[in-house]
Amino acid sequence: MAESLDLRKGMRLMNNSCQEVDEAWPEAWYMVEDGKVANQKCENRHTPNRPVDVKAMRKLGLLYWKMDADKWKYPVKAMPWDPQEATDPRLKALRDDRGYSYADVLTIHPDYLPGFDQHVKNFFTEHIHADEEIRYILGGSGFFDVRDPDNNWVRVHVKKGDLMTLPEGIYHRFTCDETDYIHAMRMFIGVPVWTPINRFTTDTESHTSRKKYICLHCTPQALQDNGGEEKETGE
């Protein structure tokens, strides 16, 4: 129990890193069930639409910052992208504050990514990571899908200027939208590990990161604590 309390306390501290006001967050909604998804790149909303508000996204552990991607220039691809090139002072401050020592830049588009269709298919495989996933959208747009505690898919439409982190252990997947184009920066604390831990082919429920996520975001106590946290950190 003491360990659980320490984890929740740590998460509250991380969530105080000057996040954006609610109005700046991306639009999100509940997706139709997987069996009804004919095209992963479409919006796949329910009829009528079932929106997901910022409070609910915060409870899932998502963090968000709105950045000025128009003011700064980034390469089509750079692996790694030298932190010394981080001329955007807000981006540099955020990276310093959260310890994002590694960064790279890539463009997901048929012209820039060999094997584009297979990559997009792989991105859409449900998985977790043993570390948080950080993405800064420099151009284009796409969808992050994340599971809520009831195993429903929440679809988040990220666009240029959105910087979002997904907590370690959350079930998620990614796809381009119908534009087939997204230009993004990936960030990582320390040496990057991009290998996904796929659900259904691995015992993800026993993974340490999954257990940590459940403790922080899915237990009745966590849901209560996160609800209270919203009042403290919402701007």
* Res 7 pLDDT > 90: no
> Contact at 8 Å (CB) between 146 and 153?
yes
pLDDT digits (tens, 9 = 90+) for 13-43: 344 456 777 889 999 999 999 999 999 999 9
Domain 2-233 = CATH 2.60.120.10 = yes
**Phi-psi sector, 166: left (phi>0), alpha (psi -120 to 50), beta:** beta
Phi and psi at 11, nearest 5°, equal -65, -35
Total count of residues recorded for the chain: 235
pLDDT at 31: 98
Q: What is the mean pLDDT of residues 111-136?
A: 97
pLDDT digits (tens, 9 = 90+) for 169-196: 999 999 999 999 999 999 999 999 989 9
pLDDT at 84: 66
109 among annotated binding-site residues = no
Q: What percent of the chain has pLDDT over 90?
A: 77
List beta partners, residue 163.
65, 136
Give the strand pairing for 63-66 and 182-188: unpaired
pLDDT at 15: 45
pLDDT at 219: 86
Give the separation between CA 212 and CA 7, rounded to whole angstroms: 8
> Contact at 8 Å (CB) between 145 and 173?
yes
**Domain layout of the chain by residue ranges:** 2-233
Angle subtended by helix axes 208-217 and 220-233, to nearest 10 = 60
Structure tokens at 40: 């992963």
46 among annotated binding-site residues = no
pLDDT at 172: 99
Phi and psi at 104, nearest 5°, equal -140, 165
pLDDT at 149: 95
Task: Choose between 221 and 203: higher pLDDT.
Answer: 203
pLDDT category of residue 135 using cuts at 50, 70 and 90: very high
127 among annotated binding-site residues = yes
Give the separation between CA 151 and CA 63, rounded to whole angstroms: 20
Q: Judge if pTM exceeds 0.85.
A: yes
129 among annotated binding-site residues = yes
Give the separation between CA 152 and CA 30, rounded to whole angstroms: 7
Give the separation between CA 157 and CA 36, rounded to whole angstroms: 19
pLDDT digits (tens, 9 = 90+) for 37-67: 999 999 999 999 999 999 999 999 999 999 9
pLDDT category of residue 83 using cuts at 50, 70 and 90: low
